[in-house]
Amino acid sequence: MSHSRNVYLDMKTLEEARAILFSTFKSAGMPASETLPVSDAIGRVLAEAVTARLSSPSFHAAAMDGFAVLAETTFGVSESRPQKLILGQDAFAVNTGHVLPENTDAVIMIEHVHAVGDGLIQIEAPVFPWQNVRRMGEDIVATELLFPQNHKITPYSIGALISGGVLSVKVRKKPHVLIIPTGSELVDCRTTPIESLKPGQVLESNATVLSALVEAWGGRPQRGDMIRDDLKTLTDALQNACEGDADIVLTVGGSSAGSEDFSRAAIQELGEVLVHGVTMMPGKPVIMGVIHNKPVFGIPGYPVSAIVAFEQLAGPLIAMMLGQPEPQRPVATVEPIRKIPSKAGLEEFLRVQLGNVNGRIVAIPLPRGAGCITTLTKADGIIRIPRHSEGIMENEPVQAELLRPLSSINNTVVVVGSHDNTLDVLSDMISARYPGMVLSSSHVGSMGGLMAIRKGVCHIAGSHLLNTEDGSYNLSYIRKFLPDTPVKRVQLVFRDQGLMVASGNPKHIQGIEDLSRKDIRFINRQTGSGTRILLDYRLNQLHMNSEDIAGYDTDEFTHMAVAAAVLSGTADAGLGISAAAGALNLDFIPVVTEQYDLIIPEIFFETENIQRLLNVIRSDMFKEKVNRLGGYHTERTGEVLES
């Protein structure tokens, strides 16, 4: 094989190089998945959505040490009218976490009880139903979404998974990255005593650093044997590597223009060189190629160049394979203490030390040598000088990426308002289609959502507020409560609302008119929720008094929590959506088909994340998944309505 010096005739900008990289390997898809015990899955990425198998708690549990009682037997008790209770008959000793005995629904704290004789205690204050009790499903309701696909599992996640009865999860396999150090001058620090180093020999460190970076980005590193500067030896090593099980191959060193830099020739011999040379400093000599449909990088040998090249190209490719966003460093506005010239045509990654001086964050440039690894270990931040710039003036405010401390970019769409099960579907699909984008929903009722928009604390409000005069939804409330806030109203779904009752409908409930029966206990939604407004509207139509409904003043904040209350026997009936009843195998008595809209302030409507969200909502896949839940109608889903 012949070889000549490499010449950078067609360098690419960093943006061009990344575009070539991602477009070339996007179709390769994500790595296969594997199933792991939850306890072994910390730091791994979910390959599919995970839903709870159990409610947590899965039973009504005492929240305090004391005595379990039926609350209604304590009504009327006071200091002037104390009451004695018989242990084992009227009251039952329980400790925190114990199952509540049958026919009890409250716990009297032990410090509020006086022993008055064998088997007798005395109380001087009443308790209300479910006081000092953790009700079934208080934390997690069976079938609810715990985490969407592409969620990275944390130690906190482990607790939620186990509490929800999920003991194993399907996660993406870590991309296997083979690292091949090259260079005749290299010696292995693991086998060569430092004292025996000869002039011209260098302790090989890049493979170890890159292995740690691969792990940090979520990959599985493997360090290959060191290769001397020989084209055939390197070509054979690359051939074996790309025919093996590695997902990505990195050669380290030999990517520049020297007479003994063979990486380009070896890649070109076996496959295709996509890019050789990127207009960035450090890291300019980096090579990107493809052999047997696998990405191969020629990483520069200088330590800082190697790190910058990896973080800008190879690391993001690992993230893409895992369905994860690139980690984003926090930034701050800084002012250089002196003029910093830079070479036009190259984007420079300048390492700086930072300090807060009289309220200003000042930047002190560190040496720029690509071989000075300590310029990274000492750096507090990195200033990226654009390639079209010739430098930065003294005291010119610029942005610096902070290396200490690191934090993730805020990329969350906040939804406040009425709860709906389709939000879980939406959250999962957004995470799958747009890794790193998160949908966070807070359930405070439809009116609470409109108030959140008025206060400027959310991106979207979910609402299904019924105008009892004309039967329309949401429009009159928007005009009344948001007169000075321009918004867009987007149809999410039509959904069936009705009474959720136990399977088989043992109480033979036929409709809302039965809620006033003495043998029926109801579970309500919170004040301000669209469901409660609907109930009050129907009660008014039927000339019913809410005071005649046992449990009218007992409320929950989500449809699933209401369904869980019915499933557990806490209530005989609750008003909610068909999908919630179906999720917990409850019977459903239809009452109305209502309109559920997303209210979006105009200032956010054209933002990328909102447009992404609308793209998902308007997709056939979203509508298909929603319809599978049952009780939904998607004929107008995604339409922008009058507001």
Distance CA 381, CA 383 (A): 7
d(CA 124, CA 480): 48
Among 296, 321, 346, the domain boundary falls at 321
Residue 622 forms part of a structural domain: yes
Q: What is the CATH number of the domain that holds 168?
A: 3.90.105.10
Asked if 566 and 572 touch (Cβ cutoff 8 Å), the reply is: yes
More confident residue, 228 or 189: 228
Q: Which one is predicted more confidently, 269 or 334? A: 269
DSSP string across 18-46: HHHHHHHHGGG-PPPEEEEEGGG-TT-BB
The predicted pLDDT at position 410 comes to 45
Same-domain check for residues 234 and 87: no
Instruction: Tell me whether residue 166 is in a domain.
Output: yes
The model's confidence at residue 21, banded by pLDDT at 50, 70 and 90, is very high
| 22 in the same domain as 80 | no
pLDDT (tens digit, 9 = 90+) per residue, 108-128? 999 999 999 889 999 999 999
Inside any domain, residue 266 = yes
Residue pair 385/340 in contact by the 8 Å Cβ criterion: yes
What 3-state class would DSSP assign to 603? helix
Same domain, 511 and 576: yes
Q: Do you find a cis peptide bond into 126, omega within 30 degrees of 0?
A: no
Confidence of residue 406 (pLDDT cuts 50, 70, 90): very low
Q: Are residue 117 and residue 224 in the same domain, yes or no?
A: no
Q: Looking at residue 534, which CATH number applies to its domain?
A: 3.40.190.290
- Per-residue pLDDT, 587: 96
DSSP state of 278: B
d(CA 22, CA 388): 24
Last residue of a domain, which of 270, 287, 321? Answer: 321
- Report yes or no on 168 lying in a domain: yes
Q: Nearest Cα to 525, choosing from 448, 426, 430, 621? A: 448
2 band by pLDDT with thresholds 50, 70 and 90:
very low
The verdict on 298 and 389 lying in the same domain is: no
- Per the model's pLDDT, the better-predicted residue between 393 and 103 turns out to be 103
By CB atoms closer than 10 A (0-12, 13-18, 19+), residue 88 is exposed
317 and 384 in a single domain? The answer is no
Q: Are residues 228 and 342 in the same domain?
A: no
Report the distance separating Cα 77 and Cα 359, nearest Å. 62
Please give the mean pLDDT across all residues of the chain.
89
| pLDDT 10s digits, 453-483 | 888 878 899 999 989 888 899 999 999 999 9
pLDDT of residue 189 exceeding 90, the answer is: no
Closest by CA to 223, choosing from 239, 212, 235, is: 212
User: Could you tell me if 241 and 387 lie in one domain?
Assistant: no
Phi, psi of 505 (to 5 degrees): 45, 65
Average pLDDT (145-152) is: 95
Q: Is residue 262 part of a domain?
A: yes
CB 347 within 8 A of CB 14: yes
50 pLDDT band (50/70/90 cuts)?
Answer: very high
pLDDT digit string, tens, across residues 489-533: 999 999 999 999 999 999 999 999 999 999 999 999 988 888 999
Same domain as 417, residue 360: no
Count structural domains, the chain.
5
The pLDDT tens digits of the residues spanning 248-294 come to: 999 998 666 554 568 888 999 999 999 999 999 999 999 999 999 99
Do 437 and 557 lie in one domain? The reply is: yes
Confidence of residue 558 (pLDDT cuts 50, 70, 90): confident
Q: What is the helix (H) or strand (E) element at residue 168, kind and residue range?
A: strand 168-172
- Using a pLDDT cut of 70, give the percent of the chain over it: 94
Contact (CB, 8 A) for 101 and 94: yes
Could you tell me the CATH number of the domain that includes residue 360? 2.40.340.10
Instruction: Give the least confident one: 158-172, 323-337, 620-634.
Output: 323-337
Q: What is the mean pLDDT of residues 327-340?
A: 83
Q: How far apart are CA 515 and CA 536, in angstroms?
A: 12
Kindly compute the dihedral angle of the four CA atoms of residues 642, 558, 163, 410, in this order, to the nearest 10 degrees: 30
Structural domain including 46 reads: 33-56+139-172
Q: What percent of the chain has pLDDT over 90?
A: 65
Domain end among 321, 343, 359: 321
* Residues 258, 275: Cα–Cα separation, whole Å: 17
Of 523, 515, 517, 511, the residue nearest 589 (C-alpha): 511
Residues 6+ apart with CB under 8 A from 547: none
Identify the band that residue 7 occupies on the pLDDT scale cut at 50, 70 and 90.
low
Residues 42 and 103 in one domain: no
d(CA 342, CA 248): 33
Q: What is the CATH number of the domain that holds 220?
A: 3.40.980.10
- Whether 9 is covered by a domain: the verdict is no
Q: What is the pLDDT of residue 339?
A: 82
- Model pLDDT, residue 407: 35
Same domain, 338 and 357: yes
